[in-house]
Structure 1
Amino acid sequence: TTAITSVALGACLIEKHFTLDRNGGRPDDSFSLEPKELQQLCQGAKTAWQALGHVDYGRKSSEQGNAQFRRSLYFVKDLKAGDVIDESSIRSVRPGFGLPPKFYDEILGKKVTRDIVKNRPVKLEDIN
C-alpha cells in the first residue's frame, strides 16, 4: 500500500482512520481500517522499516585483513615541514594503510606538519 511504501521512503508517522465495524453508520466508517487491516498495516510497515537496514560505513572486523587490497593516499615525493600538498605530492595506490582516496580534494592545498619521506601513507597527523 501507499502507507507501507511511504515508510520505505522515510515516513515515521502514518495517519489512518480506524473503526471496529465498517457498517457502523459513521461518516468515516466506509473508508476506515478495521482491526485486522490495521494489524496488517502495522506488520507491513514494520517489515518495510526493517528492510531499510542500518547504514554503517565503518570496516567490519572481517575486513581488517583486506586493507592491503584497498587504495589509500600516499606521498609520492619527499616534502619538508610546511610544504604545500599538491597533485604531484600524493597519489591513490595500494595498500590501504593511509587516508582513503575520498579525502584527496580535501588535503590538496594543506601543509604538511613534519618532514615526509616518499612512499609514506598519508595520515591525519601529517596534515595541517
Structure 2
Amino acid sequence: MGVFIRPGNVFLADCPARLAIELLADKWSVVVIYGLSQGPRRHNELKALIGGVSSKVLAQTMRRLQRHGLVGRSALPEQPSITQYELTPLGQTLVEPVEMLSRWAERHGSDVLEAHGEQTDAVAVTSG
C-alpha cells in the first residue's frame, strides 16, 4: 500500500510543501544551492565561496540537501579521490526561485538592516 500524501497546505505540520520550505529555510541551504547553481564544486571551493560557514556546518548542510534529493555527490577519478557536489535535476528547479530571492535580497538587504536598527534603537530607548 502506497503512502498517502496530502495536497499542499503549508499550515499542516506533515504537509510535503511545508517540509520543503523548512528545508530551504535553513540558514545555509539557499546559499549552497546558489553556490552550486553555476556548476559542480568541491567542499573547499564552496566553503571559500560562502563566507562564514564552518566545514562542519557545510558538511551537515550538504548531507541534508543530499538526503532530500537536491544535491548529488560524486568522486572524481583522481588519486587521492576528490569529491564534488552538484545540483540534481530536482535541485536545478530551485535555481530560478533562489536567483529571484537573491535579487530581492540585494535590492532590499540594506532596508531590512535599517529597519532592524530602528527596532533595536526603539527597544533600547524603551528599556533604558
Larger Rg belongs to: 1
TM range (shorter): under 0.3
Which structure: greater helix fraction?
2
Please give the TM-score of this superposition, normalised by the length of structure 1.
0.20
